[in-house]
Structure 1
Amino acid sequence: MKKTLKKLMTMLAAVQLYLVLALFGSSVALAQMPVLKGIGGEFSLKSSKGGEVSLSDFKDKVVLMFFGYTNCADICPTTMAHISQMMNKLTPEQRSRVQVLFVSIDSDYDTPKHLNKYLAYFDPSFIGLVDEREKIDYVAKLFHADYIKLANDKVTTEFKKLSLDDEKQEQKGYLYSHSAKIFVMDTHSRVRGFFYAGTAIEDMRQQVISLL
């Protein structure tokens, strides 16, 4: 009887140790998201908050960066809303250490002021970045963020899901096809992975926290 009890206690201890190690291992694995080599790099663009900002200005913060444009009818507003939901799941202290950047690929239409108004619908802390076409192309190339203008003729933007107060229905803009990736960067500005609009919010939250 004593041998059986001792054996049972040993087995329980082993199970407990396994659970502890499993939890620790998953935590470490989450914290050690691999650094993606050959993607990313330093850049500077005009900010929706005024002036010019560089990626290095957000050192010591986790950065979530998305390439899109305000005339986008679907994936851009959907993605920004998704990120906003995740940000709302963070504590105030955690939020202060995360920065969301929206890089506009439409330098023909988007301005810093326009971007600021657009992003305010999702979260006032989000920062929009836009500049001359050459600079946008440079940043997109750094991050392997593909995009292409679908046509050289402008089309009406009245179909948009999100309309701003100062817009008129007859305003026109270009349509683009672009990457849907949300680039996740650690506190050293290194790309550590990607989120998408379909990524579970809780998974996003946990991975962001692991990088803080």
Structure 2
Amino acid sequence: MPGLSHLKRGLLIGSFALVLLLSGCIGGDYATKGVYGLLPDLKFDLVSETGQRITEADLKGSTVVVFFGFTHCPDVCPTAMARLAAALDRVDQSIGEEVNVLFVSVDPGRDSPEMLGRYTDFFSEYIIGATATEPELREMTKRYRATFGFDEPDQFGNYNVSHPSAMYVFDGSSRARAIFRPADTISDMAEDLRRISGS
């Protein structure tokens, strides 16, 4: 029955086109990677660099960029923070003040609040250091389809930590809007911070 075959093929093509269309609508028009509707809203309960508990409610109304890292990171973390600080410098001051960066340490054994405070102050006043227990951190990273792990310590007790290299961007209503990747330019990151903060 050629007619039925053509009908099925037409329905499949139509369904595939609809999926692509919806994906485009969900992702949004971003210079980086749009993820609107693809990740859960921002939710966390951490200990900040001041030693006080901090949750998503404390940052409500501001654009929040979340990065999972650790202060002993030799390359990925300092590079990411420097790039993000540079992007913030390119954003209008009125908008820049509405952006908070949450540097979430996945190395709670070494990263005390004091250590996090010294680390984040080096890059920008808009970066907040925070951490939690390992089980709490695993729950948070899993929520955003990420993970982390610890290498075996060397003879001096030093070890490396594997962690995501992406930054997760949430709008003032705690909705996931974009992901900044290492390949994204500082200009593109700044452009999307303006777009998200102004929406």
Deviations 1:18-68 (A, max 9, x none): xxxxxxxxxx8349x551334454211000133111012211111111000
In structure 2, distance between residues paired with 1:44 and 1:88: 28
2:38 counterpart residue number:
37
In the superposition, relative to structure 1, how do residues 128 and 79 fare at CA in structure 2: closer, same or farther (>3 Å)?
same
Counterpart of 2:25 in structure 1 is none
Aligned equivalent of 1:137: 138
Separation of aligned partners in 2, 1:29 and 1:147: 30
Aligned match of 2:159 in 171, 174, 193?
Answer: 174
Distance 2:41 2:70 in 1: 20
Residues 1:209 and 2:194 aligned together: yes
Counterpart residue number, 1:94: 95
Larger radius of gyration: 1
Q: Please give the TM-score of this superposition, normalised by the length of structure 1.
A: 0.73
Output one character per residue of 1:56-114: Cα deviation in whole Å (capped at 9) or x when no partner.
Answer: 22111111110000111110000000001001112221111100010000011001110
The residue that corresponds to 1:200 in the other structure is 185
Aligned to 1:66: 67
Task: Check whether the contact 1:49–1:127 (CA below 8 A) recurs between aligned residues.
Answer: no
What SS is found at the alignment partner of 1:29? coil
Counterparts of 1:145 and 1:37, CA distance in 2:
14
CA distance in 2, matches of 1:122, 1:71: 15
Tell me the C-alpha RMSD between the 2 structures: 1.9
Q: What are the within-5 Å matches in structure 2 for residues 86-125 of structure 1?
A: 86-125=87-126
2:66 counterpart letter in structure 1:
M
| Mapped partners of 2:44, 2:70: distance in 1 | 19
Task: Provide structure 2 residue ranges, at least 5 long, that are not aligned to the other structure.
Answer: 1-27
The residue number in structure 2 matching 1:16 is none
Partner of 1:50: 51
Distance of 1:112 and 1:155 partners within structure 2:
26
* 37-46 vs 70-79, greater mean Cα deviation: 37-46
| 8 A contact 2:64–2:101 mirrored in 1 | yes
Counterpart in the other structure of 2:83: 82
Q: Is the Cα contact below 8 Å between 1:154 and 1:175 reproduced in 2?
A: no
Q: Is the 8 A contact 1:40 1:190 kept in 2?
A: yes
Deviates more, 1:197-206 or 1:36-45: 36-45
> Sequence identity, in percent?
28
| Alpha-carbon contact 2:177-2:196 (below 8 Å) kept | no
